[in-house]
Amino acid sequence: MSTETETRAMHDTLLLFGATGDLAQRYLFPSLLRLLADGLLPDDFRVRALALSPHDTAAFHDVLRPRLQQSWPHGRQDDINALLARIDYRSVDLRDADSVAAAVSDLVDRQCVSYLAIPPGLYISTCQGLAKGGALAAPHRLMLEKPIGSDSHSADEILNAIGALIDEDRVFRLDHYLGKAAVQNLLALRFGNTLLEAVWNRNYIESVHILVAESEGVDGRDAYYSRSGALRDMVQSHILQLLCLVAMEPPASLEADRIRDEKVKVLRSLRPLDARNAAQHSIRGRYTAGQIDGQPAQAYQPPEGSEAETFVGVTAHIDNWRWSGVPFHLVTGKRLPERTTKVVVTLKPVTHWLFERPTRQQAAPNRLTFQLQPQENIELGLMSSLAGPEWGALELQPLELELSVPTGLHRRIAYERLFLDAFNGNSALFVRHDEVRAAWAWIDSVCHAWKEAGMTMAPYPAGSWGPREARDFLPDDIHPIHHAGDQA
């Protein structure tokens, strides 16, 4: 096993596989540029960019420079030149372990982090090549993009193969949502405030909604998406990670494995979906032609035989002491009216209602809403006489208390934070192997339930909030606006 000193040393070399891909060009290289400009990388930091394209280093710089300029409109050209000077390029066949080994072996005297921004089907052969070239021996580290496989079987195959080549404490599996400041703030709000922790259980909470809505379509990801769909792409990773942060028990400390231990307990407590209640507790849909912001949007037409859904709603139940009986409604979809991520916690009504108006049945419940994107926001919905006429002491009106994060606050994008943590050996915001296994076990139960129950794909127009039946899964404030069921 690697020593604590090795684990905490800041690494100085990045081996970036998939360097010509959209993820690397749009997010990874611009993140490195900002870190370098802010003086947060070692003076001798360098990057080896690796991909199949037959570029040389100069040709790769010509491809990368305009992407960096686009992401750095107000930055200094000198910073772009400084990053490019640290990048060289190698063409490599990731299916050939010898090709990978030859492309990295000259750098293994440095402290390397290998980042695999490539399809998971190439993970094993690439890691075998890295091991053959000496780039997985201690103290070198490995960063893996999600998804890790497409089901429990393929995930186990990848985890076991890579686990035989490198120690777990030097593997950093990314879910970039965990690098978002707003997501990390869920932990701060939960465990840093007596008011929230006092009511954070089944005695006071009626339900929890987790919504990740995208206005974009499948565009540009057809090959991947036709094999995965919304359940495997978004629920298995981002949404289950948010569920864990909302539902986990307080960890003993903020040390990486203490946090991840509690997340695994939540995932293992998820009740498998059963075919007998699949239609009641889940929905899947696919968008048809429609409009978004007044612009026409085409229908999603996957390859023949694809079962990929673009909308999914699942009601999850966590069978443990804290959450027994509390439904967690998980929803994600593409081509919805807006891009938003929110967690809505609805509290139970007061036990004895004293007021004339509204009636107990008409009173708006207390809700705590964590808005994570496009901007960070916290809203608390209460009932108050302050919102009504001054003489209406017995008449209550909803009152929204809002805490907005200052717009001028500088927040690093997720990949910047995750790069720094991996270079420094801090694994708290990365996913452990047993988290991956536990998440896939529950996702497999949903897939099997759908198959056994013969769940059909419900259509919904692009620009709507999903199929008509999605009403039961969405937060209440979503229903009245742009809903497919309201257009009939």
- Residue 358: cis peptide before it, omega within 30 degrees of 0: yes
Q: How far apart are CA 416 and CA 174, in angstroms?
A: 12
| 161 touches 127 (CB < 8 A) | yes
Asked if residues 129 and 98 have their Cβ atoms less than 8 Å apart, the reply is yes
Nearest residue to 371 (alpha-carbon basis) of 484, 212, 250: 212
Angle, alpha carbons 422-428-431 (nearest 5°): 85
Cα 372 to chain centroid, rounded:
12
**Which regions of 160-237 does DSSP assign to beta strands (E)?**
171-174, 205-213
Rounded CA separation 462/459 (Å)? 9
CB atoms < 10 A from the CB of 294, how many?
Answer: 6
Query: Residue 378 pairs with which residues in a beta bridge?
Result: 370, 403
The β-bridge relationship of strands 282-288 and 311-317 is antiparallel
Residues 237 and 177 sit within 8 Å (Cβ to Cβ)? yes
Q: Is the dihedral of CA 240, 243, 248, 251 positive or negative?
A: positive
Cα–Cα distance between 404 and 439 in angstroms, integer?
32
Q: What residues are annotated to the active site? A: 238
φ and ψ of 19, to 5 deg: -70, -20
Could you tell me if 143 and 174 are in contact, meaning their C-beta atoms sit under 8 angstroms apart?
yes
If we measure between CA atoms, which residue out of 17, 145, 29 comes closest to residue 91? 17
Helix%, strand%, coil% for the chain, nearest 5: 40, 20, 35
- Both structure tokens of 151: 């089901």
Nearest CA-CA partner of 274 in 453, 473, 455? 453
Query: Using CA atoms, how far apart are residues 261 and 268, in angstroms rounded to an integer?
Result: 11
Instruction: Give the number of C-alpha atoms closer than 13 A to the C-alpha of residue 435, restricted to the C-beta side.
Output: 30
